[in-house]
Amino acid sequence: MSAPQERNGRVVILGIYVTDLTFRAERMPLIGETIAGSAFAMGPGGKGSNQAVAAARAGAQVVFCTRIGDDAFGSIARATWNAEGIIARATVLNGVSTGAAHIFVDDTTGKNAIIVASGAAGTMNAADVDAIEADIAAARVFVTQLEQPLPAARRGLEVARKHGVTTVFNPAPALPLDDDIFPLCDYITPNETEATALTGVPIANADDARRAADVLLAKGVGTVIVTLGEGGALLHSATQSVLVPAYHCGRVVETAGAGDGFTGGFAAALARGEEPIAAMRFGCALAGISVTRAGTAPSMPTLDEVNQVLRQPAPSPSYS
């Protein structure tokens, strides 16, 4: 955990916790087929919780709002947040399981396929947000995603906007959205697949990402950031369009959680007052380190580790 004096920005994150059950193998099995895996691991996960861990290790003071069950996976969640210094606003439900995720990781490429069952967090609603309105009002940045029910995410964005708090919306997994949610977003951070799902624009390069971003700007988003994996991330607004290259920090072990690392790092950097492009570079460096490690939340680097990468010469764009 970062030193208290480094925690100079508060980030409130609304999302889910799940326990990741990660299986590594050479390929996915076919329906009806059983294959041998090379490794198994269990650890903390869930987009919101992963982003909270990334932001906390990146120096932010983090408040995380979710729901968990009164079970063994819930205990892992609480231990994770305590270890990271995260302030948890977690409602505990009796008789409802904490969420879990099945993660397949390709041994050769490190790429993944994921099934998420939200469990207790899947029952979240607008009342969970209303209960933490004071936390949101005291924050510099509010972050949410779409693994918990949409009404809770929407209410979070509305409350943050009411209090003048910067909003970061990570629309993952991609769902059909009413257009009136987009004006609530100072920043929206889809990956290529999510941006295509939201706009109908297929993305094969940075220019495609710009066209998709233009659709989201027209819907009322303040600034669009399309994350492009190995291609880095594109920031696109009414006044600028900047491609920030990815940081390649070693052999790719596992890509699960990289997008969460980017969003959590970006939010932490914004919360301490960095300009958006600098915050994007911070998020890209954090994600670049995370993919060299196994796990989602456990793969998130410390502030010192990210700063060491940022002190090196900036990478050249690899995605035109």
Tell me the binding residues.
18-20, 46-50, 147, 191, 227-232, 256, 259-260, 290, 293, 295, 299
DSSP calls for the chain: ---GGG--SEEEEE---EEEEEEEESSPPPTT-----SEEEEEEE-HHHHHHHHHHHTT-EEEEEEEEESSHHHHHHHHHHHHHT-EEEEEEETTSPEEEEEEEEETTT--EEEEEEEEGGGG--HHHHHTTHHHHHT-SEEEE-SSS-HHHHHHHHHHHHHTT-EEEE---S-----GGGGGG-SEE--BHHHHHHHH----SSHHHHHHHHHHHHHTT-SEEEEE-GGG-EEEE-SS-EEEEPPP--S-----TTHHHHHHHHHHHHHHTT--HHHHHHHHHHHHHHHTTSSSSGGGPPPHHHHHHHHTSPPPPP---
Cα distances from 104 to residues 28, 166, 172, in angstroms, run 7, 34, 18
Per the annotation, binding residues for ATP are 191, 227-232, 259-260
Q: Which of these is catalytic: 207, 214, 260, 304?
A: 260
Q: Which residues are annotated as a binding site for K(+)?
A: 256, 290, 293, 295, 299
Q: Hey, what amino acid is at 24?
A: R
Please report, as a single letter, which amino acid is at residue 79: A
| Active-site residue flag, 260 | yes
Annotated binding-site members for substrate: 18-20, 46-50, 147, 260
Catalytic residue numbers? 260
